[in-house]
Amino acid sequence: MSRLLVVAMTSAVSQPRPLADRVLGQRFQLFLFAVKGMNVFATGLLIQVLLVRYAGMGHVSSYIVQTIASVQISFLLSRFLTRAYRDGAISPTLGRFNVQQLAVTGLGMAGYAGLEHFGVNYVTANVAVTALLTPVSFRSSQVWSPTRPRTQSEPRTQPVTTRQSRLAIAVRDVVAVPWPLFALLGAQAILSLQLVWSNTAFTDEGTYIWAGRIELWHLIDGMHVPAYPTYFSGAPVIYPPLAALADIIGGLTAARLLSLAFMLGATCTLWASAKRLFGRRAALCAVALFVSVGSTQYLGSLATYDAMALFLLTLSAWLVIAAKDRTDSTWLLMGAVAALALANATKYATGLFDPAIIALAIVTTGHGIKAGIARGGLILTCTIGLDGLLLAIGGSWYVAGLDYTTLSRTAGNQTPLVVLTDSAQWIGIVLAIAAVAIAVAWWRDRSQIILITVLALAGVVAPLDQARIHTVISLAKHVDFGAWFACIAAGYAIAVFTRVGHRRWVHVILVALTSAAVIFPFGAVGRAQAYDFIQGWPNSTQVSSGLRVLTRSHPGIYLAEDDDVPGFYLENQVPWQDWVSTWYFLYRAPGTRACVGGAASSSIGESSTASSAAVAYEEAVAHRYFALIILDFGGTASLDVAIANSIHRDGTYHVIAELPYLDGHEKGQFTVWAPTATTKEVRHGSSC
If one compares 169 and 403, the residue with the highest pLDDT of the two is 403
With bands split at pLDDT 50, 70 and 90, how would you rate the model's confidence at 19? very low
User: What is the chain's percent helix, strand, coil content, to nearest 5?
Assistant: 70, 5, 25
Q: Do 489 and 552 reside in the same domain of the chain?
A: no
Q: Do 223 and 196 reside in the same domain of the chain?
A: yes
Report whether pLDDT(295) > 90: yes
For the ranges 6-20, 90-104, 607-621, 654-668, the maximum mean pLDDT occurs at 654-668
Q: Which domain, by its residues, includes 352?
A: 187-534
Q: How far is CA 208 from CA 201, 203, 303, 409, 663, in A?
A: 11, 9, 8, 20, 22
Residues 580 and 560 sit within 8 Å (Cβ to Cβ): yes
Least Cα distance to 571 among 159, 190, 201 occurs for: 201
- Grouping H, G, I as helix, E, B as strand and the rest as coil, residue 597 is strand
Report whether pLDDT(567) > 50: yes
Task: Give the pTM.
Answer: 0.73
With bands split at pLDDT 50, 70 and 90, how would you rate the model's confidence at 600? low
Q: Do 503 and 630 reside in the same domain of the chain?
A: no
pLDDT average, residue stretch 464-479: 92
Q: Do 117 and 238 reside in the same domain of the chain?
A: no
Q: Do 256 and 386 reside in the same domain of the chain?
A: yes
Report whether pLDDT(469) > 60: yes
Q: Do 223 and 132 reside in the same domain of the chain?
A: no
pLDDT average, residue stretch 243-272: 92
Q: Do 208 and 246 reside in the same domain of the chain?
A: yes
Does residue 3 belong to any structural domain of this protein?
no
Q: Do 266 and 320 reside in the same domain of the chain?
A: yes
Q: What is the pLDDT of residues 23-57, one digit of tens each?
A: 445 555 556 566 666 667 767 776 776 677 666 67
Q: What is the reported pLDDT for 12?
A: 40
If one compares 227 and 299, the residue with the highest pLDDT of the two is 299
If one compares 165 and 313, the residue with the highest pLDDT of the two is 313
Does residue 4 belong to any structural domain of this protein?
no
Does residue 383 belong to any structural domain of this protein?
yes
Q: How far is CA 377 from the centre of its chain?
A: 28
Region of poorest pLDDT, from 84-98, 111-125, 153-167: 153-167
Does residue 69 belong to any structural domain of this protein?
yes
Cβ neighbors of 654 (< 8 A, separation 6 or more) are 673, 674, 676
SS (H, E, C) 1-36: CHHHHHHHHHHHHHCCCCHHHHHHHCHHHHHHHHHH
Residues 557 and 578 sit within 8 Å (Cβ to Cβ): yes
Q: Do 555 and 517 reside in the same domain of the chain?
A: no
* Domain-ending residue, one of 501, 534, 567: 534
Does residue 666 belong to any structural domain of this protein?
yes
Report whether pLDDT(270) > 50: yes
Q: Do 509 and 547 reside in the same domain of the chain?
A: no
Determine how many CB atoms are found less than 10 A away from the CB of residue 441.
22
SS (H, E, C) 403-469: HHHHHCCCCCCCCHHHHHHHHHHHHHHHHHHHHHHHHHHHHHCHHHHHHHHHHHHHCCHHHHHHHHC
Distance CA 161, CA 13 (A): 13
SS (H, E, C) 129-185: HHHHHHHHHHHHHHHCCCCCCCCCCCCCCCCCCCHHHHHHHHHHHHHHCCHHHHHHH
Does residue 8 belong to any structural domain of this protein?
no
With bands split at pLDDT 50, 70 and 90, how would you rate the model's confidence at 7? very low
Q: Do 45 and 102 reside in the same domain of the chain?
A: yes
* Domain-ending residue, one of 534, 569, 599: 534
Q: Do 501 and 580 reside in the same domain of the chain?
A: no
Q: Rounded to 5 degrees, what angle do the CA atoms 73, 67, 339 make?
A: 40
Burial (Cβ within 10 Å: 0-12, 13-18, ≥19) of residue 334:
middle
With bands split at pLDDT 50, 70 and 90, how would you rate the model's confidence at 86? low
Report whether pLDDT(157) > 80: no
Structural domain count of the chain: 3
pLDDT average, residue stretch 164-180: 51
For the ranges 69-78, 180-189, 313-322, 364-373, the maximum mean pLDDT occurs at 313-322
Cβ neighbors of 497 (< 8 A, separation 6 or more) are 440, 510, 514
Does residue 170 belong to any structural domain of this protein?
no
- The total number of residues shown for the chain amounts to 688
pLDDT average, residue stretch 240-255: 90
Q: What is the reported pLDDT for 141?
A: 57
* Domain-ending residue, one of 514, 534, 554: 534
Region of poorest pLDDT, from 179-183, 532-536, 596-600: 596-600
Does residue 176 belong to any structural domain of this protein?
no
Rounded percentage of the chain residues whose pLDDT exceeds 70: 70
